[in-house]
Chains A and B, each alone.
Chain A
Amino acid sequence: MKLKRAHFARARLTACLLLAPQLAVLALFVFLPGIEALVQAFLLSDPFGKHSQFVGFENFATVLASAQYHNAITRTLIFVFFTTLLSMSMGLALAVAVDHIRRGRGAYRLLAIWPYAVAPVIAGALWLFMFHPRYGALAFTLQRGFGMDWNPLLNGNHAMFLIVVASAWKQVSYNFVFFLAGLQGIPKSFIEAAAIDGAGPVRRFVTIVWPLLSPVTFFLVIVNLVYAFFDTFGVVHALTRGGPSGATDLLVYKVYADGFLGQDFGASAAQSVILMALVMVLTVVQFRFVENKVTYAS
């Protein structure tokens, strides 16, 4: 039997005391605002909150009926899929590479972790600087070197590519750290035994490393999905403002734009509740159906 929960048979008080500070922080910064958002989702109010009226599910109905929202759902799914795929595969590739390095591993590790310290808005600005169709150096290479009509200002796919790359780049570091730790936790004897039996590097990776990494991979999938769903409005704001023509209008950016830029707190709150529900469903689905395939090493 697998024990996944911690049990505190005796030291219950100590456990509570140890948990208290974290719970207090969560209550203050997560639960209270969450409840506030839930209440707000049923109200129609002016920006200054002087006049509020209860409107039942109207905010939800309006949001769900709008063509822009449907577009945002599609764009978000595309964005989340590619961002997660890209950031995880890059993180894994870097981790595997660094795992093989004997000398200067620390330096490589530091460099690979570095981008994580960059704020999303700054990351967006950096990528814009490189890929802006008018003055970006890499954009210039694409246009002149490859004869590509690179224009994320008007081409929705180009704009989507840009926010995916910028968002994934930031997250690669995070994935790298966890994958590297996972790789280093795999007993060398397994690998050596397989090598003696004649398995090549690819075979060893597929049959030994990858299955043993599955707990880390599973954890990272959830973290990356949450990141892509919730934490990427800064990148969108810096790079595309949701354009061109709604091509990068992600759900979380709409929450940000309608609430914090447009002061329509009711609609914004309703959207954040829907988004929260969506991610909760996704996470539950993963724990129920995907986690079965995860091998937790004993």
Chain B
Amino acid sequence: MIRTSTFSLAAALVSVLAAGPVAAAPLDIHFWHPSLGAVDEALQKQIGAFNASQSDYRVVSSGRGTYDETFNAMIAAYRAGKQPHLVTAIGQETLTLQLSGAVYPVQDLFKDAGLKLDVGRYLTPVANYYTSRDGKLMSLPFSTSTPILWFNKDAFAKAGLTRAPQTWEEVGEYAAKLKASGMACGYASAWQQWVHIDNFAFMHNVPVATRRNGVDGLDAEFVFDKGEVVRHLERVQAWARNGHYEYAGRLASSASNSFVSGRCGMITQSSAIFTTVRRGAKFAYGAAVMPMNLGATPGPSLIGGGSIWAIKGHKPTDYKGVAAFLAFLSSADVQAQWHKDTGYVPSTRDAYEKVKASGYYNEFPVQEIALQQLLRKPHKDSISVRLGSSIQYVAAIEDELENIWSGKKPAQQALDDAVKRGNEILRRFQRQNAAAK
């Protein structure tokens, strides 16, 4: 088997052709992914390119609804022994999948297929997010995103603001000025828990949970109900009280709407809404890195979005094709194109450099913001946030955050309750997975 030294498509294919079966009909590789609208076209483009580039394998993709629905369909299929080879799962399911024993770690997959996987190519926060405790890249980073601050330049000009806010203190002042200039709302946020707790804590190097946010063990406990996070939420609660901050609901689309419709002057939302903003906004828009507290050292933000997992239970020959496809997807060219087509972050440095060299960011500077944020030097203790039953604990925390926005509870009390409820969920997850380790 040929050892390839680079990750390029050609080299990957040479190795696959050398090792692959000599068969007339191509082998089908089943790939389940969520149906995400505009993004799907970009994905089909890449799958089509892979299928056209060689004749041994054919990737058969299937959109399975939302991320949750796709994940559930995969689990049900796995339990019935009918799992696909590949599935795109949302980042929050990382721990569940790592512990499941049902996945073929991509690092092993590449090694077994005779392909080299250079983890060093990946942006550090991206690699960290998907690397297991024993240092193995478990899934292929793909639809990577991270929150950034989007702002309405026209509204800023009307309110006499000339640049993006850099600190949270400024966000408060700007929101007040936008409101005073006649806007319905100054600032809104999508993914309240991801933005106001996970990312705020992560970027300020404040723990969300013990055991380095769960990276070091399943016995982690939430501890975000103190210090800076409480003061941050007290501050946003005050903005909510006087209408400078407007709660946009649990659905991310409703938050995007608040911004794109011109209702709110600023929004903290995923970098991946680029195409939505570009198509929908009838005003000049800009983006900036997430605000920090005055005087704080900014760390990289926490990523979100999806990654691609190889599922166990197929023939070894199939996995050669799986590896070839993943190698194709992780090539710098594909990553660069994917970034431009979708607004997701290119997961690798070489793809970023390629896009930068092409002058693309002169035309679309907002697309580079997330990268500037992710390329920062990481804080020592903020590697990732890796906790179980995330859908349940996020819902519990959202319940309590809503109590903050509505003013039903003081921030401290709501966060204490959120931590208490969250810890009950974590303990249950720990017991469910006690045997797995």
Contacts and interface: CB of A to CB of B under 8 A. Distances in A.
Contacts of B433: 46, 51
Given A51-B436, A262-B392, A134 B398 contact: no
B52 interface: no
Interface in B374-411: 389, 391-392, 395-396, 398-400, 402-403, 405-406, 408
A154 B248 CA distance: 9
B284 interface: no
Contact of B432 (A153, A242, A264): A264
B167 interface: no
B292 to A, nearest CB: 28
Contact of A48 (B75, B389, B402, B403): B75
B254 interface: yes
A134 B403 contact: no
Given A44-B432, A134-B257, A153-B249, A243 B405 contact: no
Interface in B79-114: 79, 96, 99-102
B244 to A, nearest CB: 15
A28 to B, nearest CB: 15
B100 A257 contact: no
B177 interface: no
Interface string A216-250: 00000000000000000000000011111110000
Contacts of B403: 245
Contact of B261 (A134, A153, A263): A134
B357 interface: no
Residue with the highest number of chain A CB atoms closer than 10 Å, among B96, B399, B406:
B399
A261 B250 contact: no
Contact of B395 (A46, A50, A242, A267): A242
Given A47-B96, A48-B101, A263-B96, A245 B406 contact: yes
A154 B237 CA distance: 13
Contacts of A47: 75, 96, 100, 432
B328 interface: no
A237 to B, nearest CB: 10
A260 B68 contact: yes
A49 B79 contact: yes
A245 B408 contact: yes
A119 to B, nearest CB: 13
A264 B428 contact: yes
Given A241-B395, A245-B406, A46 B257 contact: no
B247 A258 contact: no
A45 interface: yes
A41 to B, nearest CB: 14
Nearest to B392: A262
B254 A134 contact: yes
7 contacts: A50-B101, A53-B435, A155-B406, A244-B406, A245-B408, A261-B391, A263-B72
Interface of A: 44-51, 53, 62, 68, 132, 134-135, 153-155, 240-246, 257-258, 260-264, 266-267
Given A134-B258, A153-B249, A245-B408, 7 more contacts: A44-B431, A46-B435, A47-B100, A153-B248, A244-B399, A257-B392, A264-B428
Q: Which 7 A-B pairs have the closest CB atoms?
A: A51-B435, A262-B392, A244-B402, A154-B406, A153-B249, A245-B402, A48-B100
